[in-house]
Copies of this chain bind each other. A is one copy, B any other.
C-alpha cells in the first residue's frame, strides 16, 4: 500500500510500505477514508525532534474496519470508526479513571503511522468508536478532527475547567487552539479570548465562539488578558503551542485559583517552581485522553452541532503529502487533510 515516510527533516516521501497484518487478537485493520497532518508532525519535519531512521508518519485517522482479531468485540468489519491518536486497552485502572492516553498498554499511533491507505489499530476495542452509520462525505473532516485536534483542544478546555461563568483564554491559533475555542464555547464559557495575530485564524476563532481577540504575545498579551478581566486574569487558560514562551504566557494569563490546560507538546520548557507556587494556578496537560471524549464529540458532529472540520483549509491527495507538510510548516495552511 502507499504510505507517508519521513526520511529526514524536510524530506517527506510517499512510497510503497508493508501492508498491515493482524498479529494480536485485539488488533483491527482499517481502510482510511482520510488522514491529515498534525502540528506535532512538524516537530520532526523541522528537525526539532531528531529523525534517526525513516519514520512512518501520521496518527489521526477515520475509516472503515476491514478486519478484526479474534478478541475484538466492539467494532466489526464494515463499520465506520473514529479512533484516538493513542491506542489504549480501555480496561486498565488508568483508562477507567479517564486517562486512556496514559494507558499502561498505550501505543502512540505515530509509531504505527496513519498517513497511509490502511492502518493497524492495536487494542481496537479500547481505541475505536463506531459512528451511528456511514457518514456523509461532508462529515468526514469533522470526524477526522475528533481523532486528535478536536479531542486535544477539548481536553485543553476541560483541563482548564472551562465552563459556565468562566473567562477562557487560548494561547495558540493552530488547529488545536482554534478547536479549544470551540470546546470552551461548547462547555458553556461566558467569554473566550483567542490570542492570535493572524487575520484568517482570528476569523475562524470568531466563528468557533471567540468573544475577544488579543493580538499581543508574551507579557504584553498577558497584560491585555488582565485588562479584559478586571486585572485578575482568566479563570481558564488553554496552552496549545508547547514552547517556553507560550507556557509562561498561559500561566501568567491565569488568575490565582485558575486552571491551565496545556496540550501543546512541550519542547525545551522549564517551569520555575517559584513562579508556579506564587501563581497558584492548577496545571494539567499531556497527551489528550481523546477516547474519553469521542462518544460525545461524535454525537455533536453527527447532529451537526459543531463543525470542527473547518480547520482543514487545504485538501490534497495522499500522494502530495510533502506539499501538505510544507504548507503547514510555512503557515500557508492551518491544517491539511489528505484524501486517501
* Chain A residues with a Cβ under 8 A of chain B: 93-94, 97-99, 101-102, 104, 159, 230-232, 242, 244, 247, 255-257, 262, 265-274, 276-287
Residues of B within 8 A of A270 (CB): 270-273
User: Which one of B94, B159, B255, B267 lies within 8 Å of A255 (CB-CB)?
Assistant: B94
Quick one: closest B residue to A243, CB to CB?
A: B273
- Tell whether, in the assembled complex, residue B280 and residue A262 are in contact, meaning their CB atoms are under 8 Å apart: no
With A93-B232, A102-B256: A280-B285 Cβ-Cβ less than 8 Å: yes
Closest 10 CB pairs of A and B: A269-B273, A102-B256, A266-B273, A280-B286, A99-B257, A282-B284, A271-B271, A283-B283, A270-B270, A266-B277
Residues of B within 8 A of A276 (CB): 266, 271, 283, 285-286
- Tell whether, in the assembled complex, residue B232 and residue A94 are in contact, meaning their CB atoms are under 8 Å apart: yes
User: Which one of B97, B99, B104, B286 lies within 8 Å of A277 (CB-CB)?
Assistant: B286
Quick one: closest B residue to A256, CB to CB?
A: B102
Q: What are 22 A-to-B residue pairs whose CB atoms are below 8 Å?
A: A93-B232, A98-B257, A99-B257, A101-B280, A102-B257, A104-B231, A244-B273, A256-B286, A265-B277, A266-B273, A266-B274, A268-B273, A270-B271, A276-B285, A276-B286, A277-B285, A277-B286, A279-B286, A280-B285, A280-B286, A280-B287, A281-B284
User: Which one of B97, B230, B271, B274 lies within 8 Å of A273 (CB-CB)?
Assistant: B271
Tell me the complex Cα distance, A104–B229, Å: 14
User: Which one of B159, B256, B274 lies within 8 Å of A94 (CB-CB)?
Assistant: B256
With A101-B280, A286-B278, A286-B280: A247-B273 Cβ-Cβ less than 8 Å: yes
Residues of B within 8 A of A101 (CB): 280
Q: Mostly helix, strand, loop or mixed at chain A's interface?
A: mixed
Tell me the complex Cα distance, A26–B267, Å: 48
Residues of B within 8 A of A274 (CB): 266-267, 269
With A102-B280, A266-B277, A273-B271: A257-B287 Cβ-Cβ less than 8 Å: no
Quick one: closest B residue to A233, CB to CB?
A: B94
Residues of B within 8 A of A257 (CB): 94, 97-99, 102
Quick one: closest B residue to A103, CB to CB?
A: B256
Residues of B within 8 A of A231 (CB): 104
- Tell whether, in the assembled complex, residue B273 and residue A93 are in contact, meaning their CB atoms are under 8 Å apart: no
Tell me the complex Cα distance, A255–B282, Å: 17
Residues of B within 8 A of A280 (CB): 99, 101-102, 284-287
Residues of B within 8 A of A255 (CB): 93-94
Residues of B within 8 A of A286 (CB): 256, 276-280
Residues of B within 8 A of A279 (CB): 286
Tell me the complex Cα distance, A98–B102, Å: 31
Quick one: closest B residue to A239, CB to CB?
A: B273
Residues of B within 8 A of A266 (CB): 273-274, 276-277
Residues of B within 8 A of A268 (CB): 273
| Nearest Cβ on chain B to A296's Cβ, whole angstroms | 18
